[in-house]
């Protein structure tokens, strides 16, 4: 029996704005399979076993009717930070996340029967580059202009995603929705055995022989298995005493060198060439993306989830990697 079903015997109405991407599909499938009624608000409706409703993410419209009387709103809307980092796309990323959050806040504030809980996407990259200690919700230092070595500050371009995260959360908590509990999901990288996912990208490097360390390999990788991501969201919906920011990450981040070694072992690839920092910086420049995505040390831990009694199915990366590889190999069976 699911956590939600144990607390709420009736099926819940769950609305996912921006839920057509990978994480939205992970959550929609998870809740649909457990008998809950899922509605995805999407710019381009698609064929799915759950309900999809058009919205443009910019203006109020008929989509607001689906929030009326809903139990849960999970906002995943916002353009990916992984897209090209030219100035126009930077502004589009920023606007898409801040504007859609404020739009939802305005809509929820005007409902006669608003959702009981609103979970809003955020990101664990809000924390500083950290090699020295874990970053939980209570003691973690937020990032911005920090040193990444004794003499070198983080590149100024790394500050963009941190500024987006801070302003995103500020917009979320600034919405006046007194009848709706709010939780900001500071998520680490969610690993899913799906084409185009982060897992697919790392796995491709392993299988073509470039599965060694990236940079010096000492930077920490924060991660979470897709099953635990969905279960953690379900847990937060059920726990009415939890609100504010919550880290959504496995409890054991690990250095990149060990992360890649475990992934090679899961794929049964004994060796992998390393990728130097300079090559990563050059590749990021040519692709107009940001080296932060690989070189920043994210040492994030889920303090509030653990304190609340949440138990991870995959707390350690080697076991998670093995499971994901097996799912990948059997996904078309």
Taking only the tens of pLDDT, the chain with its 333 residues reads 455 544 446 799 999 999 999 999 999 999 999 999 999 999 987 889 999 999 999 999 999 999 999 999 999 998 665 444 555 677 888 888 999 999 999 999 999 999 999 999 999 999 999 999 999 999 999 998 887 777 788 877 788 889 999 999 999 999 999 999 999 999 999 999 999 999 999 999 999 999 999 999 999 999 999 999 999 999 999 999 999 999 999 999 999 999 999 999 999 999 999 999 889 888 776 666 678 888 999 999 999 999 999 999 999 999 999 999 999 999 865
Degrees to nearest 5, angle at CA 255 with 252 and 260: 100
Beta carbons within 10 angstroms of residue 87's beta carbon? 7
Question: CA-CA distances (angstroms) from residue 244 to 124, 137, 260, 314?
Answer: 14, 10, 33, 24
Taking the alpha carbons at both ends of the chain, their separation in whole angstroms is 27
Q: What fold is seen in the domain 10-329?
A: Rossmann fold (3.40.50)
Taking alpha carbons only, the member of 229, 202, 224 closest to residue 294 is 202
- For residue 247, give both structure tokens: 């880290």
On whether the CB atoms of residues 6 and 32 are closer than 8 A, the answer is no
């Amino acid at each position: 029996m699911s956590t939600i079903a144990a607390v709420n015997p009736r099926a819940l109405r769950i609305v996912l704005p921006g839920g057509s991407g990978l994480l939205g599909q992970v959550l929609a499938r998870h809740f649909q399979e457990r008998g809950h009624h899922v509605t995805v608000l999407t710019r381009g409706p698609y064929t799915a076993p759950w309900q999809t409703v058009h919205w443009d993410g910019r203006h109020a419209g008929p989509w607001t009717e689906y929030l009326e009387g809903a139990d849960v709103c999970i906002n995943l809307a916002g353009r990916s930070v992984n897209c090209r980092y030219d100035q126009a796309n930077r502004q589009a990323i920023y606007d898409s996340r801040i504007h859609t959050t404020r739009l939802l806040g305005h809509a929820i504030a005007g409902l006669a029967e608003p959702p009981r809980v609103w979970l809003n996407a955020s990101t664990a990259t809000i924390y500083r580059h950290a090699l020295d200690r874990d970053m939980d919700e209570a003691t973690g230092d937020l990032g911005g202009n920090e040193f990444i070595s004794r003499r070198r500050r983080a590149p100024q371009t790394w500050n963009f995603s941190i500024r987006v995260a801070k302003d995103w959360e500020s917009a979320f908590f600034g919405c006046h929705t007194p009848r709706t509990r709010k939780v900001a999901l500071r998520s680490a990288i969610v690993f899913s055995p799906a084409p185009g996912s982060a897992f697919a990208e790392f796995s491709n490097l392993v299988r073509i022989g470039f599965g060694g360390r990236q940079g010096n390999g000492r930077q920490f990788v924060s991660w979470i298995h897709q099953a635990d991501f969905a279960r953690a969201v379900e847990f937060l919906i059920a726990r009415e005493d939890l609100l504010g920011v919550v880290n959504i990450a496995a409890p054991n981040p690990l250095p990149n060198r060990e992360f890649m070694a475990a992934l090679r072992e899961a794929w049964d690839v004994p060796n992998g060439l390393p990728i130097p920092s300079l090559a990563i910086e050059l590749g990021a420049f040519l692709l107009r993306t940001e080296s932060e995505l690989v070189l920043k040390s994210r040492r994030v831990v889920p303090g509030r989830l653990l304190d609340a009694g949440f138990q991870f199915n995959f707390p350690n990366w080697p076991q998670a990697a093995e499971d994901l590889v097996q799912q990948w190999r059997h996904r078309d069976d």
